[in-house]
Amino acid sequence: MGVSIDDIKKLKELTGVGLTDAKVALVAADGNFDKALEEMRKKGLTKAEKKGDRETREGVIDSYVHSNRIGVVVEVNCETDFVARLDDFKELAHQIAMQIAAMSPEYVSQEDIPAEEIERVKAELLASEELQKKPEEMREKIVEGQLKKHFAEKVLMSQTYILDDSMTVEGRIKDQIAKSGENIRVSQFKRIELGVTA
């Protein structure tokens, strides 16, 4: 099946691979752009993967207030002041602030979850009556899955992106990394809700 040159160029731009690799991925996906992009993400062939370790010292602090009841301040970093001043970078920061207001995450990434919190939840899960009915050799695997699910909504990067439910927040940021050519990360956030104390 033929693939369009526009799709090849778009895939090249989003992933940072050469035109030939982009075309091969599209042909393998029978011309389905989303499927080709997803496969390349799974294989880690995107620019974003390669840029993830680069330092981010520039960026913006953005805020969002919803109905005068929920307020969010978020720090989103990039590598250069040039990218920090771009409208689409500022828009990304604002969208992340909106995400935090709507979905109330507790942590930026999995790495931010304290080890004692993971152990506490794991102990609760291991002690559950439902789990005790399962074969012993399966319990650890079941608990690992339950732990992942338990923390998925509490971790900003793992949350489904509110403006596009086909991706996570991490996926949205990786798309922006591919577009800007720079590493981007959320450093910290604070969410305040009227009448709710942390």
| All structural domains of the chain with their residue ranges | 5-45, 58-109+154-193, 114-147
Q: Is 182 exposed, middle or buried (0-12, 13-18, 19+ CB in 10 A)?
A: buried
**CATH architecture, domain defined by 5-45:** Orthogonal Bundle (1.10)
| Higher-scoring residue by pLDDT: 146, 172 | 172
More confident of the two residues 6 and 74: 74
User: What pLDDT score does 130 carry?
Assistant: 81
Choose the most confident range, by mean pLDDT, from 25-39, 137-151, 166-180.
Answer: 166-180
Whole-number pLDDT of residue 64:
97
CA distance 171 to 152: 14
Amino acid at 103: M
Whether residue 19 contacts residue 3, with contact meaning beta carbons closer than 8 Å, is answered with no
The pLDDT assigned to 47 comes to 54
pLDDT of residue 103: 96
Neighbours of 123 (CB within 10 A): 10
Whether the CB-CB separation of 188 and 108 falls below 8 Å is answered with yes
Rounded to an integer, the average pLDDT of 63-69 is: 96
22-50 as b/e, with b when 16 or more CB fall inside 10 Å? bbebbeebeeebeebbbebbeeebbbbbe
CATH 2.60.40.10 at 58-109+154-193, yes or no: no
96 vs 72: CA distance, rounded Å: 10
The SS3 of residue 50 is: helix
Task: Write down the pLDDT at residue 152.
Answer: 86
Contact 62, 94 (CB under 8 A): yes
Q: How far apart are CA 131 and CA 84, in angstroms?
A: 48
pLDDT of residue 127: 82
pLDDT in tens, 72-108: 999 999 999 999 999 999 999 999 999 999 999 999 9
- pLDDT at position 55 is 77
- Whole-model pTM? 0.68
DSSP H helical ranges for the chain: 5-15, 19-28, 33-42, 47-51, 81-84, 87-103, 115-127, 129-132, 136-152, 169-180
